[in-house]
Amino acid sequence: MKTFFNLIQDVQKPGLCHRCGGCVTFCSAVNYGALELDPDGKPRYGAIEKCIECGLCHAICPEIDELETETREQAGWVAPIGRVIETTVARAGDPAVRRNATDGGVVTALLVHLLERGRIDGAIVTKQVGPFQRRPALATSSEEIKDAAGFFFDTSHGMKSFGDQYLLYSSIEEFDPMIKKGLRRVALVGTPCQIKSVRRMQTLGLVPSESVQLCLGLFCSGNFTFGEDQRRGLAAAGGFSWEDVRKVNIKDDFLVHLKSGEVKSIALDDLQSVRRYACRFCSDYAAEFADIAFGGIGAEEGWTTVLIRSPLGRAAFADAKGAAMLEEFSVKMNPNFATQALAKVRSWSTKKRQAAQQNRRQLGSKAVQVKG
């Protein structure tokens, strides 16, 4: 059986670790701190003598294919981008939610509805704690969910801790307080790699993953190193000052919305120098293992593209729409909006998958450089 030692050799040394934190989070739940995250957010041994060499950390890593077949079968995955039951474009029914949203506020509106209707006990999200910093949070009230809305290039070290170098959309650090509070029905908002890690745990039927009842995935072009130098470079490239920024967003380009109403655009290809190295090898753009996947690609400004992937996701979305918490894009405005949105997502998924395959081929032809 392969252990965390093998994970270092197979994933960390080649530079493939996404720092999603799954190995540390789930090990901490059963092994009492055998693993930890270093100051840069990279998993390492915390107390090697506490490691029972169960192999869970290796098996659930998104970069390891050990459980790929079983995970795909459980999720009903089909080519080319996972199961898609329905595609739509929607936005929050509440204008106040939309004002603070990245796109159409669909994730926030859906979570608030599910919580208020008693469908979930809470949601694992990330909350902004500074201009470029976020921390994982377990939201158990509508106000806490709304406070976590919006997308900024803030930082988080994934599932276990947070710092000031890497961006993640969400985190599952809050698994421990979730268990202590006795919450058994929790929604997780996360990146494709985070959701895949949870799905691997659910495939194995292990605690505490069964408490995650609904996985909401976000379209992901990659995470970025976003320190002071990178912020200065982006401001120069886009011709703006961060003091003037209201929010940022990713659609076809990296969009910077200024307080004046002007929108600055930077091509995503120009962000390669600040993109996290491991993201170059990730092939999942559209959160293929989620119950519902969301993003701005393919939707008009102020709207969200929604891919409903599971019957549970379909029921949750329909319930929120029936309560007028969500509204769909009008067919009268564009009868082909759903088809066009899905085509755009497929195009971006293909682009990311092809790039990942090419980068892996190039990685295989190079000697591994191990950095301390």
Question: Are the beta carbons of 304 and 89 closer than 8 angstroms?
Answer: yes
pLDDT value of position 224: 72
Sign of the four-CA dihedral 283, 123, 110, 91: negative
Question: Are the beta carbons of 117 and 152 closer than 8 angstroms?
Answer: no
pLDDT value of position 149: 82
pLDDT value of position 134: 64
CA distance 225 to 232: 12
Phi, psi of 88 (to 5 degrees): -150, 175
- Bridge partners of 173, per DSSP, are none
Alpha-carbon separation of residue 48 from 11, 12, 22, 34, 271 (angstroms): 18, 17, 18, 6, 38
Question: Are the beta carbons of 191 and 169 closer than 8 angstroms?
Answer: yes
pLDDT value of position 366: 52
CA distance 81 to 97: 29
Per-residue pLDDT at 328 exceeds 80: yes
| CA 93 centroid distance within chain | 24
CA distance 17 to 23: 11
Alpha-carbon separation of residue 26 from 33, 49, 159 (angstroms): 10, 17, 10
pLDDT in tens, 15-27: 899 888 788 877 7
pLDDT in tens, 222-274: 877 667 787 888 888 889 998 888 878 778 888 888 889 899 998 888 877 77
Per-residue pLDDT at 163 exceeds 50: no
**More confident: 130 or 78:** 78
The H or E element spanning position 304 is: strand 304-308
pLDDT in tens, 29-43: 555 678 888 877 788
CA distance 274 to 225: 5
Residue 201 pLDDT grade (very low, low, confident, very high; cuts 50, 70, 90):
confident
Residue 118 pLDDT grade (very low, low, confident, very high; cuts 50, 70, 90):
very high
**More confident: 265 or 171:** 265
pLDDT value of position 125: 87
pLDDT value of position 249: 78
Q: Identify the weakest region by mean pLDDT among 117-121, 247-251, 279-283, 327-331.
A: 247-251
Alpha-carbon separation of residue 44 from 12, 138, 275 (angstroms): 10, 25, 22
Q: At CB < 8 A and 24+ separation, what contacts does 335-341 make?
A: 337/89, 338/87, 338/88, 338/89, 339/87, 340/298, 341/87, 341/88, 341/89, 341/297, 341/298, 341/299, 341/305
**More confident: 231 or 215:** 215
Question: Are the beta carbons of 148 and 190 closer than 8 angstroms?
Answer: no
Q: Identify the weakest region by mean pLDDT among 175-184, 208-217, 326-335.
A: 175-184
pLDDT value of position 177: 62
What rounded mean pLDDT belongs to the chain? 84
Question: Are the beta carbons of 58 and 64 closer than 8 angstroms?
Answer: yes
Q: What is the mean pLDDT of residues 130-136?
A: 63
- Bridge partners of 161, per DSSP, are 157
Prediction pTM value: 0.86
21 φψ region: left (φ > 0), alpha (ψ -120 to 50), beta (else): left
pLDDT value of position 365: 55
**More confident: 353 or 128:** 353
CA distance 103 to 105: 6
pLDDT value of position 133: 61
Residue holding tokens 């009868």?
A: 335
**More confident: 25 or 330:** 330
